Chains A and B, each alone.
Chain A
Amino acid sequence: QQQVKQSPQSLIVQKGGISIINCAYENTAFDYFPWYQQFPGKGPALLIAIRPDVSEKKEGRFTISFNKSAKQFSLHIMDSQPGDSATYFCAASSRNQAGTALIFGKGTTLSVSS
């Protein structure tokens, strides 16, 4: 059972365009929603994260939009650059558990063309 569904699987965006990646979750106990960026040969790196008490969080060119009632959240990358080309993963977890596991989506491969 996949608890975090991510789309699209791949995305091609022109330099300067907006990249949008969507995720949906099922477990209402989730209360922490991070996005990770992964380059080939590297581990995932935390990009930005949000808790469900806010609907939007912005850090530089990266914005998370969160819709608690729809159980959906999305990553927007403004002014996309070739250096943003990477695989992006959404994830979710619950801090109420004794052990905290991040549940990841399957990833979106972003290519930004110059």
Chain B
Amino acid sequence: DAGVTQSPTHLIKTRGQQVTLRCSPISGHKSVSWYQQVLGQGPQFIFQYYEKEERGRGNFPDRFSARQFPNYSSELNVNALLLGDSALYLCASSPSPGTGSYGYTFGSGTRLTVV
């Protein structure tokens, strides 16, 4: 079975640009969450989506947005990139929004570098 798939794996952008990151959850999982992991820190929650609806939002500016498609895949968009947005962006899928016994399964992430 395929795990959580994220694309691209690496990305370099210039300050002020916009970026779109993509995530395909595990087959059968309907909930997708996005996390930002700055080097040397733990992941920080950005968004959670379930059945195409936003179910939770972390403490991130409006430059960050996301959406979930009918096939449960998801995109994270970041506008007006800042140097501080450089991080590993992780997607996690789960069967439902609640953390059941399966927990979340994380993808390997997209490494975004803003120069």
**Which residues does A use to contact B, with CB under 8 Å?**
4, 6, 32, 34, 36, 41-46, 49, 89, 91, 93, 95, 97-107
Contact = CB atoms under 8 A, between A and B. Distances in A.
Given A34-B103, A41-B108, A49-B103, A99 B97 contact: yes
Interface residues of B, number: 29
B42 A105 contact: yes
Contact of B42 (A41, A93, A101, A107): A107
A99 B104 contact: no
A100 B48 CA distance: 7
Given A44-B106, A98-B56, A89 B43 contact: yes
B106 A45 contact: yes
A105 B40 CA distance: 11
Contacts of B25: none
Given A99-B55, A99-B57, A102-B45, 11 more contacts: A34-B99, A34-B103, A43-B92, A49-B101, A89-B42, A99-B50, A99-B56, A101-B45, A101-B48, A103-B45, A106-B42
B104 A102 contact: yes
A8 to B, nearest CB: 14
A98 B41 contact: no
A4 B50 CA distance: 25
Nearest to A33: B99
B41 A107 contact: yes
